[in-house]
Amino acid sequence: MDKILIIGAGGQIGTELTTYLRKEYGEKNVIASDIRATLHDDLMESGPFIRMDAMDSRQVYQVIQKEKVKQVYFLAAILSAVCEKNPEMAWDINMGTMNSVLRVAKELKFKMFVPSSIGAFGKTTPKDQTKQETIQRPNSIYGVTKVAGELLCDYYHDRYGIDVRGVRYPGIISNVVPPGGGTTDYAVDIYHKAIKFNKYTCYLKEDTYLDMMYMPDAIKAAVTLMEAGHDSLRYHNSYNVGSMSFSPKIQADEIKKHLPNFKINYKVDPVRQSIADSWPNSMDDSAAREDWGWEPDYNLESMTNDMIKVLSERFARRNKDEETK
Ligand code: SER
């Protein structure tokens, strides 16, 4: 069995991907790594953890060589809203970590998953059913790092034969670890606030459509793409993947089916609104469907059912624990 290293295992996607891969490929074969000194308890207990600074290519080299790693899931990145607060840091971290790991891949020849994002598109990109190959002139610094990353990965593939693959993720909705400061975070937070307070103040306008995806599908996309035969892939970085597209109003209406008294109001944040306005309403993911059989399992209705069930049970357990203290 190939050893797998997750870089950025403590993040929103990394946490759940590590758990999934450990179940699938064996706990000892999946090494979690992060710049943080410690991760979610379940991850620390279920398999190996190495603290690593991905900017430091010598450290990355040593870990990958010593552990005989053959596959790397690279998930270290700062999300769009935080990037906008400090563009210099955004470039240094998003590009610095990727560059460092790609350099090591050139020496040690492992297979890599490097995700891109809907952020790789911009204001001049056609908005509906955005094609796989289209205009990519992003207006956010996050998007600039995503396009540069896509190009750098393709360069390493074409020039050095590194098997590096990726998808353009939509906003990811999940219930284990919160997202770390993206434009699409509202779509996660809304469930928490709906269950706790029956109301939510949204920082995007009610009719802002964006592509979204439930975490089980985000994991499915990464693993299915990594397992696909190399020769079936027309693209490496990156494939459009979609599963649902909605606006805050549509999501709120879906939540109201479960919580009829739920109320949403809007207090627009101009920075995040302008980023959201520059991203597609929906992506055409037919290339991923044709080349490696991409097919999502969740839509807005089934995701909302699951989010409300999981979070309500969790909050009820916590309240009970508080009461018995
Ligand atoms: N969810 C990300 C963000 O909002 C997009 O990839 O930054």
170-183: average pLDDT: 94
Neighbour tally for 315: CB within 10 Å: 13
Residues 6+ apart with CB under 8 A from 322: none
- pLDDT tens digits, 121-153: 999 999 999 999 999 999 999 999 999 999 999
State whether 181 and 97 are in the same domain.
no
Q: Is residue 290 part of a domain?
A: no
State whether 195 and 167 are in the same domain.
no
Interior angle at CA 113, CA 109 and CA 114, nearest 5: 110
State whether 22 and 48 are in the same domain.
yes
What's the structural domain count of the chain?
2
The yes-or-no answer on residue 142 being catalytic is yes
| Helix runs in the chain, H state only | 12-25, 41-46, 57-66, 80-85, 87-108, 141-160, 186-197, 215-227, 248-256, 270-277, 286-292, 300-324
- pLDDT tens digits, 200-218: 999 999 999 999 999 999 9
Instruction: Give me the pLDDT at residue 137, please.
Output: 98
* Protein residue closest via CA to atom 2 of ligand 1: 182
Q: Is residue 50 part of a domain?
A: yes
* Cα-based distances in Å from 143 to 66, 180, 237, 277: 34, 16, 14, 13
State whether 103 and 186 are in the same domain.
no
Q: Is residue 291 part of a domain?
A: no
Residue 196 belongs to what domain range? Answer: 172-212+244-282+297-319
DSSP string, 187-250: HHHHHHHHHHHSEEEESS-TT--EEEEEHHHHHHHHHHHHHS-GGG-S-SS-EE--SEEE-HHH
Interior angle at CA 86, CA 175 and CA 33, nearest 5: 45
Q: How confident is the model at residue 196 (pLDDT cuts 50, 70, 90)?
A: very high
User: Is ligand 1 within 6 A of the CB of residue 138?
Assistant: no
Mean pLDDT score of the chain: 96
Whole-angstrom Cα distance, residue 74 to residue 217?
A: 18
State whether 92 and 193 are in the same domain.
no
Q: Is residue 30 part of a domain?
A: yes
Catalytic, out of 20, 25, 73, 142: 142
State whether 49 and 144 are in the same domain.
yes
Q: Is residue 130 part of a domain?
A: yes
Distance 322 CA to ligand 1 centre (A): 34
The minimum-distance atom of ligand 1 relative to the CA of 279 is 5
Cβ-count burial 76-100 (b if 16+ within 10 Å, e if not): bbbbbbbbbeeeeebbebbbbbbbb
DSSP bridge pairs for 168: 116, 240
User: Is ligand 1 within 6 A of the CB of residue 8?
Assistant: no
Q: Are 162 and 112 in contact (CB under 8 A)?
A: yes
pLDDT tops 80 at residue 325: no
State whether 204 and 145 are in the same domain.
no
Instruction: Give me the pLDDT at residue 267, please.
Output: 98
User: Is ligand 1 within 6 A of the CB of residue 182?
Assistant: yes
State whether 85 and 131 are in the same domain.
yes
Residue with tokens 């790092």: 145
User: Is ligand 1 within 6 A of the CB of residue 169?
Assistant: yes
State whether 160 and 228 are in the same domain.
yes
Q: Is residue 310 part of a domain?
A: yes
Whole-angstrom Cα distance, residue 109 to residue 101?
A: 11
Q: How confident is the model at residue 86 (pLDDT cuts 50, 70, 90)?
A: very high
Residues 6+ apart with CB under 8 A from 246: 209, 210, 212, 254, 300
Query: What's the CATH code of the domain at 232?
Result: 3.40.50.720
State whether 135 and 184 are in the same domain.
no
Q: Are 246 and 282 in contact (CB under 8 A)?
A: no
State whether 107 and 183 are in the same domain.
no
Instruction: Give me the pLDDT at residue 321, please.
Output: 83
Q: Are 67 and 5 in contact (CB under 8 A)?
A: yes
State whether 78 and 41 are in the same domain.
yes
